[in-house]
Amino acid sequence: MTPSLLAAILALLPAGTPADDPPKDVFIEYRTGARVPGELAFTDHRGKTVTFSQYADGTRPVIVVLAYFNCPLLCTLVLNGLTDGLKELEPALGDGFRVVTVSIDPRDDAELAAQKRANHLRAYGRAAADDGWDFLVSQDGGVRQLADTLGFRYRLDPDSGLYLHAAGAFVLSPDGTLRRTLLGTRFPGLDLRLSLTEAGEGKYGGFADRMLSWCFRYDVRHYEPALDRIALVAAGVAAWLSVLVGGIAWRRSRRAM
């Protein structure tokens, strides 16, 4: 294995994985609140020209993954991890939210995007809406602007021909505003559910999801219970039960008179 290939593989490791001197220009920056320009143009897996506004159209939150389709390691881990997490969600893909995977490699084409999409929908193993998970390519630099907006720093290693990048996914509100950056290669269903609820602006999940989201905080890589908030909820429930029990006891005592 050549030194350049070894360096490329080390750089492909997920963010936070121990490695010797990984490239300092390859990382994911938190850009919460950044809004993706709707006019960014891509080619989808059908070979049609699309703009990002067709995905961030105000109706559903969007999960965005930046990858490339001939990636030998990390992109597969990220997409497989996302697929596993999506299996745990209700509703299904395209019903309440959508996923968009955009290639960072201008050498990828619509045919390869279609193959990659078919593989992951097959692994998903559930019925999904036609627009539930789209795979896009770009040859005119649109993906670079998308990546810069989301804080995804990557570059091509000229020696190995591999793209050096970190691992993660981005959860956007229905209008295309970045609400949550999920780091790593594993995306548990709970993390996806909570991030979609946060990003959904009332368009994903119900009251139970919003209460659950309020009781958790995102900490580095995963959602963790917000103990202070859970304590408030528990105290509120206890107070309500106390009032309820007291009221029942009072009514019984009145009837006994």
Per residue in 233-254, pLDDT (tens digit) is 444 444 445 545 555 655 665 5
Domain assignment of residue 253, yes or no: no
Domain assignment of residue 222, yes or no: no
Q: What is the pLDDT of residue 7?
A: 38
Domain assignment of residue 70, yes or no: yes
Q: E-strand spans in the chain?
A: 41-44, 49-51, 62-67, 98-103, 133-137, 155-156, 163-164, 168-172, 178-183, 216-219, 222-225
Q: What is the pLDDT of residue 34?
A: 97
Domain assignment of residue 151, yes or no: yes
Domain assignment of residue 231, yes or no: no
- Name the band, by pLDDT with cuts 50, 70 and 90, for residue 165: very high
Q: What is the pLDDT of residue 91?
A: 86
Domain assignment of residue 179, yes or no: yes
Each residue's pLDDT tens digit, 91-106: 889 999 999 999 999 9
CATH assignment of the domain containing 94: 3.40.30.10
Domain assignment of residue 141, yes or no: yes
Domain assignment of residue 93, yes or no: yes
Each residue's pLDDT tens digit, 45-63: 999 999 999 999 999 999 9
Query: How many domains does the chain divide into?
Result: 1
Domain range for 129 is: 3-200
